């Protein structure tokens, strides 16, 4: 994979997403479309953006349900042929196995380990006694056993995850340029540091999408890599 930056376009504005995608497409490797966009426009919207912009699509729906339901959802989305799609590792091994089996051959299925908006105290509040680092390691091993392509984890855990899964595909969100606002993210890292730690791709949203000049912001981040 060449340019390893995927830009998170979290908006219900279809034409705004297309306009932004076309503005930055010369400086990034792909676009991530998530729940907000999908809830507004569904599969038709994803197809429209893919056709209008011409970049690989990371479909970030973080599917989490019983195995049959998740497999059926993945199959229903297969016509979009996304480059990457997400499920939750917490759904368990059977759910992950079924999701991978239902996915198109060219789609990487990656499992979300611990959201970058959570820390150890958040995990304890929902009954997870392990710290975020230990939980990411545990779920990374489970995703590997289930036959997935990789996992989503913060830059702080990606080196440990890669030690567990040498050939895995590691998606790192919560990436912020040095001095950038962290927003609702608790475990952030600069793009250069995340890449050096072992990220396969970086997911970057607001530092680019909400910049006064998005393409200049994207160029500046690429320059650090």
State the Cα torsion 172-178-182-186 to the nearest 10°: 60
What six digits make up the tokens of 182?
Answer: 């962290």
DSSP assignment, residue 189? B
Strands 57-63 and 150-152: unpaired
Strands 30-34 and 150-152: unpaired
- CA–CA dist 224, 216 (Å, integer): 13
- CA–CA dist 152, 145 (Å, integer): 16
State the Cα torsion 46-49-55-58 to the nearest 10°: -30
Neighbours of 74 (CB within 10 A): 23
Question: For residue 54, what are the CA distances in angstroms to 31, 93, 150, 201, 211?
Answer: 10, 34, 24, 18, 22
Question: Which residues are marked as active site?
Answer: 62
Residues in the chain: 225
């Amino acid at each position: 994979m060449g340019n390893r930056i995927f830009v998170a376009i979290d908006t219900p504005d279809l034409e705004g997403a297309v306009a932004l995608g076309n503005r930055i497409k010369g400086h990034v490797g792909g676009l991530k479309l998530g729940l907000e966009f999908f809830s507004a426009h569904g599969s038709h919207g994803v197809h429209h953006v893919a056709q209008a912009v011409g970049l690989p699509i990371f479909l970030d729906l973080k599917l989490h349900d019983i195995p049959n339901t998740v497999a059926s959802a993945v199959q229903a989305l297969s016509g979009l042929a996304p480059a990457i799609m997400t499920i939750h590792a917490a759904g368990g091994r059977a759910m992950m196995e079924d999701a991978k089996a239902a996915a198109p051959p060219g789609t990487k299925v990656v499992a979300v380990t611990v959201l970058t908006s959570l820390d150890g105290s958040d995990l304890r509040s929902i009954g997870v006694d392990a710290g975020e680092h230990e939980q990411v390691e545990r779920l990374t091993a489970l995703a590997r056993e289930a036959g997935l392509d990789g996992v989503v984890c913060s830059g702080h855990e990606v080196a440990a995850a890669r030690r567990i899964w040498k050939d895995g595909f590691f998606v790192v969100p919560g990436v912020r340029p040095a001095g950038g606002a962290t927003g609702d993210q608790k475990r952030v890292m600069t793009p250069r540091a995340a890449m050096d730690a072992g990220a396969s791709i970086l997911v970057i949203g607001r530092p680019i999408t909400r910049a006064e000049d998005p393409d200049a912001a994207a160029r500046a981040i690429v320059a650090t890599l």
